[in-house]
Structure 1
Amino acid sequence: MDLRRLRYFIAVAQEGHITRAAERLDMQQPPLSRQISLIERELNVQLFRRSSRGVELTAAGHVLFREATAVLNDFERAIEATRRAARGELGSLCVGIAPTAPFNPLVPDAIRTFREQFPGVSLVLHEGLSNEIVAQFNDNQMDVAFVRAPQVHADGVDVTLLQREALVAALPSHHPLARTRSKTVSLKSLANDQFIMIGPAGTGLHDETMAACRAAGFIPRLGQPAPRITSTLGLVAAGLGIALVPSTMQSVRMKGVVYRALGDASPKAFLGLAWRRGDPSPVLKNFVSLVRTMAKRRPQVSG
């Protein structure tokens, strides 16, 4: 018994006539009759009652028809699922996201668009700083990640630039420069303030802040570190220091925090996409292609 014979049997059962079934199958009637007889002989049961008007199923034939139809339907579903998986339409993807990345509209828009285009793919999202993303790549627990660092020091991981967005200063509302009419401040004018860093050295915004301050001619005084952007803004609101954050963070309104554009060198925050080089996953390829295409269509984010 094979799938070909099951299809012959189902065609005869549906048509109720061997000649019509043979025409439907694009074959001659005698070979089809032989195939039906071979099935009955193999199963040692009578599947059809013959009459001058055609054939009709016996009780055993009805059972085989029900089960054979289910088998063929399952087989067709399996074939289609296999093809969809090869096209990257089925599967799962673990996506890392730097804490500040979701505030850039590109990131949630890309995730939403991917889910709409590939509803059969399960996305698992993990928030993490650059060093945490590196650890997950090294442990094979991460497929792709939106990162703030231009380099991810994990074996075989590539990083491509998506956007550079302006950094802005997050100041306590009682800060002198927060109470002026000017919406722009000089980074050098903040040299005497304590800087609250998001994450440790080696993570994206920490290193971007250090580089921006050095370019402005000073080494920042480091205040209390913060593991996440929300705790950073909370410390700013409490008056424990200032922070440089991506300009898209201005959408986060927190009492006690005022944002000011930087008028000097206009330092930029890096937003990139990291994935393992040579990964053959069609799901990953679809995700990377979609994100990069969307990024090319968007302007850089200013302060």
Structure 2
Amino acid sequence: MNLRRLKYFVKIVDIGSLTQAAEVLHIAQPALSQQIATLEGELSQQLLIRTRRGVTPTDAGKILYTHARTILRQCEQAQLAVEHIGQTMSGQVSIGLAPGSAASSIIMPLLQTVRAELPDVPIYLHENSGSVLNDKLLSGQLDMAVLYDRTPTAGIVSQPLLKEELFLVGSRDCPGQTVDLAAVAEMNLCLPRDYSAVRKRMDEAFSLRRLTAKIIGEIESISTLTAAVACGMGVTVLPESAARSLAGAANGWMARIINPSLNLSLSINLSACLPLNPQTRAVKDILISLVTQPVVKNPELMLVG
């Protein structure tokens, strides 16, 4: 295998068409087909299935596609690192954050650390839902995103950071330090829309236990959710870090959900297509170190290996 053939292969899979890939790569289609045939010969595996609608990867092709993206990305990173050796890092780094995630609590430490260590690197922060953040990563509008993401997304590389348990948060009639999922289903719930990771996890848990939740409101805004909980209109479910913050703001309580215990994985997502520049890579390292620090202080946060 060589890098050029891997690049050709990845481009064909991304586009789904030999003809269009040949145009993008500025190579004749017969020559491109020959390159893929050579690659298939080297691996002794058929990599692509050709149909009237285009091409799709075989099972072997899907495995190679994943590895090829990683290899090409690492080569691009190595080239950038060599090119920028001895240079002062500069340029904006854009970061997406899921509302209420553990990363939200380290925004100020992140800005302060980057300011101290990378004074010529301004940070742009964008808070939105996971699906929107992934779309912005794919379009190149964001360099990285920290979110709860349970569904693999094409073109996205996801690095697990830690797991957070889910907690019930309210301001009246505290059930104690823990609360059964069955009891949660009977309460007036204020939850985000069904595309959020928290809502998907709760819907899944209720369905598996054959419970029908009493959802009285779907609220996206953290400030509005805090107000709803503070006035006693209902309770909500959040990851530990966000639950702790909202409980403090609403002068309320938080109880860990059990039977079963529920958790979400917090990940840092990157585009599989776009290489990391040196300043983004440096900020990513700082972000990872800050996000994983609470693990030592809070037993509810479990580091993912």
Would you say same fold, with TM above 0.5?
yes
Distance 2:199 2:88 in 1: 36
Partner of residue 259, structure 1: 254
Shift of the 225–87 alpha-carbon distance from structure 1 to 2, 3 Å rule, reads farther
Report the Cα offset of residue 206 of structure 1.
1.6
Asked if 1:285 corresponds to 2:271, the answer is: no
Does 1:191 find its partner at 2:185? yes
1:141 and 2:141 aligned: yes
For residues 302 and 135 of structure 1, the distance between their equivalents in structure 2, rounded to whole angstroms, comes to: 33
Does the residue aligned with 2:218 lie in a helix, a strand or coil? coil
Equivalent pair of 2:84/2:278 in contact (CA under 8 Å): no
Q: 1:208 aligns with which of 175, 193, 201?
A: 201
Q: 1:226 is matched with which residue: 219, 225, 231? A: 219
Match for residue 275 of structure 1?
270
**CA spacing shift, 1:152–1:234, aligned 2, 3 Å:** farther
Q: What SS does structure 2 have at the residue aligned with 1:269?
A: strand
TM-score by length of 2: 0.60
How many pairs were matched up? 215
| TM-fit CA distance, 1:102 | 5.4
Q: Are 1:165 and 1:302, in contact at CA under 8 Å, matched by a contact in 2? A: no
Q: What is the rounded CA distance, in whole Å, between the counterparts of 1:240 and 1:184 in structure 2?
A: 21
Partner residue of 1:160? 159
Give the structure 1 partner of residue 72 of structure 2.
Answer: none
Q: 1:297 to 1:100 in 2, by over 3 A?
A: closer
Distance 1:87 1:299, change over 3 A: farther
* Contact preservation (8 Å) 1:95, 1:143: yes
Distance 1:83 1:121 in 2: 18
Find the counterpart in structure 2 of residue 48 from structure 1.
Answer: none
Look at both structures and tell me which one has the larger radius of gyration over its CA atoms: 1
Judge conservation of contact 1:196–1:241 (CA < 8 Å) in 2.
yes
Contact 2:170/2:254 (<8 A) preserved: yes
Q: Does 1:100 align with 2:100?
A: yes
RMSD of aligned Cα (Å) = 3.0
Whole-Å separation in 2 of the counterparts to 1:96 and 1:190: 31
Conserved in 2, the CA contact under 8 Å of 1:85 and 1:91? no
Q: Distance in 1 between matches of 2:190 and 2:218?
A: 5
Cα displacement string for residues 33-79 of structure 1 (whole angstroms, at most 9, x for unaligned residues): xxxxxxxxxxxxxxxxxxxxxxxxxxxxxxxxxxxxxxxxxxxxxxx
